Structure 1
């Protein structure tokens, strides 16, 4: 074995060990976290309407998976549906991937409790999409094949940087999966009246079926259907709320102010967060976290060209923007209508906690039928998000690790596809096990972790590789590792863990979402280490930027034509 190969494998071992240790620290520190869903999580009566509607969704999407399995014959088909998804379809799927149950149920719950401040998370999320469209979409699509790791490995030392990319991807995917599976179990207890373990196992088994057989094509259509259903349901609820108010949003706001214990304060910022730095940390974590989420970036490769990729992001931005506008009406609608129904409250708290207010609102304006429909859609949203995460996790192992590192970019196609499917099943089983193991943890905190890590590890490496000629492999690795360490340490000593979980009186670090601090640290370390790097490899890394600049702007075929002239 050559010295360079030995060094690469040593670096791989070191980075994987660091990632595993930090991920373990991040999750193990939460062992005593309080309830996963705000308020008492008690299993509700079985909702027959919701279960029937969800079974219709399941049967339909399993049929799509069967059809997709006939189209999935290669790794390219599995990872990116062969690049044959249209921009509109892909944009709808991206919206479906992003519009999770946490968005619909969580943000409406925050608005019910805090009014305007509940929109902070939505504002942060929306801020990321224009940056993805104008800053990253073109270069990522032109330089990558299947994953964002492909993009940075074109520029930097392949084996070492792939290890970093795999570590960042798996860390984000595992943390996100835990949050989604725990959320699934708790919410289905409330929405369907089913036991927690039943919900978690159902989600895991269905996702394994979707992804193993249908790959990205089946996942795409699951996400499209889910997006259409969620947008339709949100539109119906918002319309019916406005109908109750004589189609006057002013009347909705006036009723909300009259009903809410905090009165007019809910129309202004400062109820939930009165510290502007706290608000900034949330906004930065959400906005830049999106730019480092592997399952979102991976969708840019499912279309044929950069035009379709840009259209994808534009369509996704439009649909998500519309969804959040509907959520504003729904959020204030919950205050306007639900406070008028005292039977929904026990000891001053709404039944099921804040995450149930959108479902209670659906029942208030549309009866059992609309409530059952939205309950089924909430479950479908979890399936779609978990499916997207599973595809990106499987690609990290089979494509980035097996094909890219072990086989040096020349894998056996049949073996790679087989490993992909085996990995999918393994990820599904792990997701079920983790969902059951961590069922008592705080979902809000778990959902924040992957956003902070994505913003502090994946995004800085990707951005610096794409936009700064001086970036070197050594700088990128150090930046990613320090970004990960800083993220985990600051979260652990922040209020959510240090006080809520570990029982200390005061946090050592005052903010729950530290990307405002950890992301600049990662960028600074990458810059300083790269500037100080005088190795032979550093010279190659810097030259690669100029060699790949044309390709990043114009794409492979166009780049060749430009180079000839």
Structure 2
């Protein structure tokens, strides 16, 4: 079999030409749509003017990132059955988002997760914790996406030197920052809708092409994969990555916990629920996303298995981008330079749209939660708030570029699973407790968020994902004392426990019961939520009106008098 990595992958001129067309098209969309950004609501949520189907496609586009296309396809190509486990856990996580998060969050929030958490608690400390969590998780997720983009473009151009790949990542970061600064959430959403359609069509073409080559018999693809893989038939069963030892089994449980709870905890996914006009559209958004993501993961299964059969794990791992290059190499094997250019350009557009969504979420959280509500105590001018958001986007983009340079060559799905674990540890317990537990208070929220976040980060730093193994980010160093590659099995339950302990031992604020009652009414019915989200200056949330006001307002209305019955 020809080593595609050594022979050169396609014609760099053709690759860059196709890539340039996609980038130019998305930039035109961003500039045209971005001219309508006049208020903070326009910049943060696109004016809440997207339907459930539109937002569902954008959610799928937000989630079907480099991890879904490049990372999971590469994991399946190298590890077979075990690589598919990344997709299964992530898909199940959307059911959590549908049942526990989507409607409730839409009814109780305004722009960010900090709006929800601070509704019934002390604003300043809780908003600071929410902003810290959002920035941290967004940067971690950004690093994964930008690292995938660097490996992809390095493969297109045949760049193997670290300096060249670092330059590529810097260009990716520059394009991402332009998307966010100019387009805001509205421009980013339309780019995500376009690239979601392009990605699904591309995946369908690749999967159908492969199946057609084998007479639409997937068993033949599996058989060829077993013959090509150095692991033989073991690639078709569990155990290549997880299950060989008791420790790897625990690591798999930890990974599953993070991938199931992670999607409903990611800030850029949560912020999407504010771009629709009501809770019904939020539910429809998740339903659309579930169908699209599930269908795409079936295509990825075919693509990853075909990469094992037609390209080979050894060729994939020796190419620029390592396992992330499985899908582009398969495209080159099937359709030559043109198909490779299309697949790589679509994957690159995918990465750009996702990192733009992450960046605008991080910048919105800092500008709205920290600047407007902590530093300015709710008195910030909307134009100044948007200006701060744009400056934050620039800083977050630079952090993502630096982190992406360090993470070059790492499997994007693995990096994203770490972001899932940190997000689930920091955000999921506080969201669930805040929405459903009456006793939950400010102390519980702070213990849960800071405690879960800190433990997850420390365990990741001192895990085999960073040092001590050939596949680590720093393979030449070894300071790992935590044996698991994913911290979720420790950090997520601990975060729930800290939230409960903090709520029992922390001081309860006056009016806790009244604020929870109003939040419960809004979460279930949406009553009063529109008033809190109006473009006018929001009322201080430290003293929300009692639920009885809803009753009194209703009771004060004149009741219609019964019509006199006619006498026959």
Relative to the length of structure 1, the TM-score reads: 0.86
**Partners of 2:358 and 2:20 in 1: how far apart?**
22
Q: Look up the match of 2:190.
A: 221
Residue 557 of structure 1: how far off its partner (Å) = 4.5
SS of the residue aligned with 2:105?
A: helix
Residue 256 of structure 1: how far off its partner (Å) = 2.1
**Partners of 1:446 and 1:133 in 2: how far apart?**
25
SS of the residue aligned with 2:483?
A: coil
Q: Look up the match of 2:199.
A: 230
Residue 389 of structure 1: how far off its partner (Å) = 0.8
**Partners of 1:413 and 1:369 in 2: how far apart?**
46
Give the RMSD, CA atoms, in angstroms: 2.6
The answer to whether the aligner puts 1:86 opposite 2:51 as a matched pair is: yes
Preserved CA contact (<8 Å) 2:75 2:83: yes
Q: Look up the match of 1:188.
A: 153
**Partners of 1:192 and 1:220 in 2: how far apart?**
29
Q: Look up the match of 1:398.
A: 367
Q: Look up the match of 1:96.
A: 61
The answer to whether the aligner puts 1:201 opposite 2:166 as a matched pair is: no
SS of the residue aligned with 1:470?
A: coil
Preserved CA contact (<8 Å) 1:208 1:424: yes
Could you list the runs of 5+ residues in structure 1 that have no partner in the other structure? 1-38
Preserved CA contact (<8 Å) 2:70 2:412: no
2:106 to 118, 136, 141: 141
2:25 to 56, 60, 69: 60
Deviation above 4 Å: which 4+ runs of structure 1? 39-46, 436-446, 502-507, 557-563
**Partners of 2:326 and 2:16 in 1: how far apart?**
19
Q: Look up the match of 1:475.
A: 444
Q: Look up the match of 2:129.
A: 164
**Partners of 1:171 and 1:331 in 2: how far apart?**
31
Q: Look up the match of 2:255.
A: 282
Distance of aligned partners of 1:78 and 1:327 in 2 relative to their CA distance in 1, 3 Å threshold: same
Relative to the length of structure 2, the TM-score reads: 0.86
Residue 192 of structure 1: how far off its partner (Å) = 3.4
Residue 277 of structure 1: how far off its partner (Å) = 1.9
Residue 82 of structure 1: how far off its partner (Å) = 0.5
**Partners of 1:316 and 1:143 in 2: how far apart?**
22
Q: Look up the match of 2:424.
A: 455
**Partners of 2:481 and 2:392 in 1: how far apart?**
39
Deviation string 1:257-314 (CA, Å, 9 cap, x unpaired) is 3333333322222221014322111111112121211011000000111111111111
Could you list the runs of 5+ residues in structure 2 that have no partner in the other structure? 530-546, 556-568
SS of the residue aligned with 1:113?
A: helix
Aligned residue pairs: how many?
Answer: 520
1:298 to 255, 258, 271: 271
**Partners of 2:345 and 2:137 in 1: how far apart?**
27
**Partners of 1:272 and 1:203 in 2: how far apart?**
31
Where do 1:481-560 residues align within 5 Å?
Answer: 481-500=450-469, 501=474, 508-533=481-506, 535-537=507-509, 539-557=510-528
Deviation string 1:48-91 (CA, Å, 9 cap, x unpaired) is 22211221112211111221122110000000001001111111
Q: Look up the match of 1:376.
A: 345
Q: Which has the larger radius of gyration?
A: 2
Distance of aligned partners of 1:109 and 1:441 in 2 relative to their CA distance in 1, 3 Å threshold: closer
Preserved CA contact (<8 Å) 2:324 2:411: no
Distance of aligned partners of 1:280 and 1:435 in 2 relative to their CA distance in 1, 3 Å threshold: closer
Preserved CA contact (<8 Å) 2:461 2:480: no
Preserved CA contact (<8 Å) 1:456 1:483: yes
Distance of aligned partners of 1:252 and 1:439 in 2 relative to their CA distance in 1, 3 Å threshold: closer
Deviation string 1:473-505 (CA, Å, 9 cap, x unpaired) is 011101212212211232233222352348677
Q: Look up the match of 1:113.
A: 78
Preserved CA contact (<8 Å) 1:41 1:186: no
Distance of aligned partners of 1:498 and 1:58 in 2 relative to their CA distance in 1, 3 Å threshold: closer
